[in-house]
A = this chain, B = another copy of it.
């Protein structure tokens, strides 16, 4: 319990730090969610930079706090930009947060995601179960996976990735798991309407970048904050259109007391 209380206090402290420090977060993300994720970063108090050109990435990474890479609409023009941005993040000792969107759905996605996992020095991966399973591949898969849609099914894969690449792995689902080399933290906030908004996972990843920029290299704070904000927003929403909007309002307003009262962590 003491350990969980420490974690709760750390999440509160991290949220405060994002709002005070307004960290710059560079995002190479997909076309679909650029607006949402920039808005989510602003709502939580961070400063989004949506930039991808090799011509400016070295400068951008020199004064930014973290790099978010999301492969949602990747192609042969964008993958070299992602690789170069990871090099610059490494050179500047910055955390890379990877969202392996659709990993497993095509060879291009699987290989691109794996290449980033292999090359990033400081890494957090945030994905859903099937993406994390595909990213880990055969070595983890061989342990047996029954429920492909449940985040439980991806736990072995997440642990494999955490150990193999010395990174943190966040698996999103009805239960969220934050997996490091040394522990697994389970969170049970959120709402079943959230998957009906496109890019809710991408927003999770972007927020993970904001918290990474102020020192949370686990992905725990963003997972807690988005789960709670999403469940509050869903309670006010007649459908996914309202949810997308209300989420931004709730992120903007979220206070410590609400966070502590709502948080389901174990």
Contact = CB atoms under 8 A, between A and B. Distances in A.
Interface of A is mostly: helix
B35 A106 contact: no
A55 to B, nearest CB: 4
A188 interface: no
A1 interface: no
Interface residues of A, number: 56
A107 interface: yes
Interface of A: 30-36, 38-39, 42-43, 48-56, 59-60, 72-77, 81, 102, 105-109, 195-199, 237-242, 244-253
B245 A249 contact: no
B106 A59 contact: yes
A73 B56 contact: no
A239 B244 contact: no
Nearest to A58: B106
18 contacts: A31-B34, A32-B38, A39-B197, A43-B240, A49-B102, A51-B73, A53-B74, A53-B108, A55-B108, A56-B108, A56-B109, A59-B106, A60-B105, A75-B81, A238-B249, A238-B252, A241-B245, A241-B252
B42 A198 contact: yes
